Amino acid sequence: MKLLVVIVLFGIGFALLPLENALRTERLQMKYGGAHVTFQLREAIGQNLAIALLAGMRGIVADFLWIQGHGFWEKREWLRQYRNIEVAVTLQPQSIMFWDLGQWHMAWNIGYGAFSDPKNRTKAEAIKREREWHEKARQFILRGIENIPNRYELYFTMGWLYFEKLSKDCDDPPCSEAFCKSADYLAMATSYPDAPQFVPRLYARALEKCGDLKAAYEEWKRLWRLDHSTTEQAWSIIEREIRRLEDYLQIPNQQRVFPQPTP
């Protein structure tokens, strides 16, 4: 009889083990506000902010670090700002603003700071350091997309980075490969119905710079065919680009969106 009781109790305990593990994990997550707190993270944020994390105030800590990082930006303390950006997205990985503005600071501000640093011995060294920050921004956005894959914003951000910065990092510009990558990401951004009107226009321009003028022409035509009464768009720009490409591609007059007047 005693053996039977022991077996039953052991079976109940074994069955409850997954539940106990789940509860333990949840308690740890609540303890740190849902963030995975490592020794390195505690070292980066300091004792006072670590205490705030212990109290579950993850959002407040992330906001404070972001505001502090803005102060570092104003003082051109780029590396301290970069550290805060990384910690902020660790604490708030679902914040589009932290990912978007974080990469902008890396690719534009910190990259420029590295390029213009008087400690650079040669222009080649300045260019190399700037490109390193462009690459950091690219890797940063990739992580952002992994965390927020169902919104248009970071796909657009990546497309813009390739269009404006990575296309200039090629040894033989213009770099069509970078513009093609830009078009790929902008196509994903354009697929979301809430993407602003400028997103598909930039997509069409990236297609053209990638070398696919026919695809760019088709994208401009697609935009023109949208309902003008219900869709907000820069129709004059779209018309101008269609007319330009129809002339450049020598589209037969009867196939043009805007036929040329016959003499």
Question: What are the pLDDT digits (tens) for 198-212?
Answer: 999 999 999 999 999
Both 131 and 197 in one domain: the answer is: yes
Residue 3 included in any domain: no
Both 203 and 138 in one domain: the answer is: yes
Rounded CA-CA distance 231/225 in Å is 10
Both 154 and 88 in one domain: the answer is: no
Both 134 and 110 in one domain: the answer is: yes
The string of pLDDT tens digits covering residues 172-197 is 666 889 999 999 999 999 999 999 99
Decide if pLDDT at 213 tops 70. yes
pLDDT over 70, % of the chain: 76
Mean pLDDT of the chain: 82
Both 191 and 255 in one domain: the answer is: no
Both 231 and 168 in one domain: the answer is: no
pLDDT over 90, % of the chain: 60
Residue 135 included in any domain: yes
Residue 17 included in any domain: no
Both 45 and 71 in one domain: the answer is: yes
Residue 8 included in any domain: no
The string of pLDDT tens digits covering residues 93-124 is 899 999 999 999 999 999 999 999 999 999 99
Decide if pLDDT at 134 tops 70. yes
Decide if pLDDT at 86 tops 80. yes
Whole-model pTM: value is 0.78
CATH number at residue 148: 1.25.40
132-157 average pLDDT score: 97
Rounded CA-CA distance 43/131 in Å is 29
Residue 27 included in any domain: no
Both 129 and 193 in one domain: the answer is: yes
Decide if pLDDT at 23 tops 80. no
Tell me, what's the pLDDT at 12?
43
Both 170 and 251 in one domain: the answer is: no
Rounded CA-CA distance 83/70 in Å is 12
Both 66 and 138 in one domain: the answer is: no
Number of domains into which the chain is organized: 3
Both 168 and 261 in one domain: the answer is: no
3-class SS at 51? Answer: helix
User: Is 168 or 187 the better-scoring residue by pLDDT?
Assistant: 187
- Cβ burial of 120 (10 Å; 0-12, 13-18, 19+) is middle
What contacts 129, CB < 8 A, 6 or more positions away? 114, 115, 117, 120
3-class SS at 247? Answer: helix
Which residue range forms the structural domain that includes residue 49?
32-92
Tell me, what's the pLDDT at 63?
74
Tell me, what's the pLDDT at 241?
98
